[in-house]
């Protein structure tokens, strides 16, 4: 059977890295596959790397933090097997689900552990943000994406390396690769998993990583289906026109009527720009660009 490379990016995770490696080793030893465990010590200032070596994992050391995506990239390059699993070092993901993900990987190009449970919902702020990104991902791809940035997933190295030039170096790596696979016709499977409470302090920065994820999704829309972005802008402009038109009848102000007309014209301009962008994109495909080599 195909060998498996398990990649674990870690930044100051000395409290949990040992138990995660032990869980991976125990889980993989029960199935008929050769495997390797690669820990990327991303500039940790604690004993993360030392503990990983004690647990007999391969360790790639970054002298300073390079980012989650950079760590995954280096692990993928180092991996000697085509089947790759990534998971976090904070004990939030159920390692016992890895064999199930691998069972699906023969037929699918990527298998994602879709997080569920109270710990995944998180705070009052995190939950609606995740729902918004889920809806945006579904809108961009036309496919229901239950978890766009799960950190537990299995994929084929030969497939993911097609997008190596555009790996996101930060926490949006998983978002990027999810969109890339869906928008380029790869087969993706989602398997529900229970998400656990993390051990130690989170390295995620809500504002920074939210903005980055928004940027990634916007770029994906512009690159693959630009008319969708312009349709959103058109609807917003048309709604603005409608609001100003209603306000004109209430206030009887000529300025409000002019604003309504202006927004109405802008909505049609956005629609025209969307058609133009869509035509340019389709023309590129006709001229021989292979979508699987893009992103």
Q: List pLDDT tens digits, range 183-193.
A: 888 999 999 99
Rounded to an integer, what is the distance from CA 121 to the centroid of its chain? Answer: 17
Q: Mean pLDDT across the stretch 123-150?
A: 80
Could you tell me the two tokens for 130? Answer: 């995740």
Q: Answer yes or no: are the C-beta atoms of 2 and 74 closer than 8 Å.
A: no
Could you tell me the two tokens for 278? Answer: 């869509």
Give the integer Cα–Cα distance in Å for 133 and 128: 9
State the pLDDT confidence band at 139, using cuts at 50, 70 and 90: confident
154 phi, psi to nearest 5 deg: -120, 140
Q: In 122-262, which ranges are E strands?
A: 153-156, 188-194
Q: List pLDDT tens digits, range 29-72.
A: 999 899 999 999 999 999 999 999 999 999 999 999 998 889 99
E strand or H helix at 68: helix 68-78
Q: List pLDDT tens digits, range 264-282.
A: 999 989 888 888 887 877 6
Residue 243 neighbours by CB under 8 Å, 6+ apart: none
Could you tell me the two tokens for 160? Answer: 């993911």
Rg of the chain over Cα atoms, rounded to whole angstroms, equals: 23
Residue closest to 86 by CA, chosen among 62, 64, 112: 112
DSSP designation for 40? E
Rounded to an integer, what is the distance from CA 133 to the centroid of its chain? Answer: 10
Query: Which pTM does this prediction carry?
Result: 0.78
Q: Answer yes or no: are the C-beta atoms of 172 and 204 closer than 8 Å.
A: no
283 phi, psi to nearest 5 deg: -65, -40
152 half-sphere exposure, CB direction, 13 A CA radius:
27
42 phi, psi to nearest 5 deg: -85, 65
Question: 111 has which bridge partners?
Answer: 154, 189
Look over the chain and give the mean of its residue pLDDT values, rounded to a whole number.
Answer: 86
Residue closest to 118 by CA, chosen among 203, 198, 194, 190: 194
Question: With 70 as the cut, is the pLDDT of residue 21 above it?
Answer: yes
State the pLDDT confidence band at 90, using cuts at 50, 70 and 90: very high
Could you tell me the two tokens for 115? Answer: 């997080």
Q: Answer yes or no: are the C-beta atoms of 117 and 97 closer than 8 Å.
A: no
Question: For 4-223, CATH number?
Answer: 3.90.550.10
**3-state percent helix, strand, coil for the chain, nearest multiple of 5:** 55, 15, 30
Q: Mean pLDDT across the stretch 186-211?
A: 78
Higher per-residue pLDDT: 245 or 213: 245
Max mean pLDDT among 65-69, 207-211, 226-230, 285-289 falls in 65-69
Residue 99 neighbours by CB under 8 Å, 6+ apart: 27, 28, 30, 31
Residue closest to 112 by CA, chosen among 143, 153, 151: 153
Could you tell me the two tokens for 250? Answer: 């209430």
Give the integer Cα–Cα distance in Å for 188 and 173: 16
- Give the model's pLDDT for residue 52: 97
Least confident of 14-23, 69-78, 246-255: 246-255
């Amino acid at each position: 059977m195909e060998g498996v490379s398990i990649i674990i990016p870690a930044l100051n995770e000395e409290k949990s890295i040992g138990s995660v490696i032990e869980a991976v080793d125990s889980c993989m030893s029960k199935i008929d596959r050769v495997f390797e465990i690669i820990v990327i010590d991303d500039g940790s200032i604690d004993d993360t790397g030392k503990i990983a070596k004690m647990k007999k994992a391969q360790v790639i050391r970054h002298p300073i933090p390079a980012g989650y995506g950079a760590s995954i990239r280096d692990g993928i390059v180092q991996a000697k097997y085509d089947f790759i699993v990534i998971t976090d070092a904070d004990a939030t993901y159920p390692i016992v689900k890895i064999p199930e993900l691998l069972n699906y990987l023969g037929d699918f190009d990527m298998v994602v552990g879709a997080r569920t449970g109270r710990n995944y919902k998180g705070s009052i702020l995190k939950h609606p943000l995740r729902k918004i990104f889920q809806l945006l991902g579904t809108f961009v791809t036309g496919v229901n994406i239950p978890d766009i940035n799960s950190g537990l997933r299995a994929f084929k190295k030969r497939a993911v390396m097609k997008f190596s030039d555009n790996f996101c170096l930060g926490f949006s790596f998983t978002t990027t690769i999810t969109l890339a696979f869906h928008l380029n016709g790869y087969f993706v499977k989602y398997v529900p998993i229970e998400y656990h409470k993390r051990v130690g302090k989170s390295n995620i920065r809500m504002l920074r990583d939210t903005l980055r994820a928004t940027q990634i999704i916007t770029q994906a829309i512009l690159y693959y289906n630009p008319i969708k972005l312009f349709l959103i802008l058109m609807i917003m402009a048309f709604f603005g026109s409608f609001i100003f038109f209603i306000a004109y009848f209430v206030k009887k102000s000529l300025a409000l009527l002019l604003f309504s007309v202006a927004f109405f014209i802008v909505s049609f301009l956005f629609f025209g720009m969307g058609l133009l962008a869509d035509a340019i994109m389709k023309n590129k495909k006709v001229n021989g660009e292979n979508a699987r080599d893009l992103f």
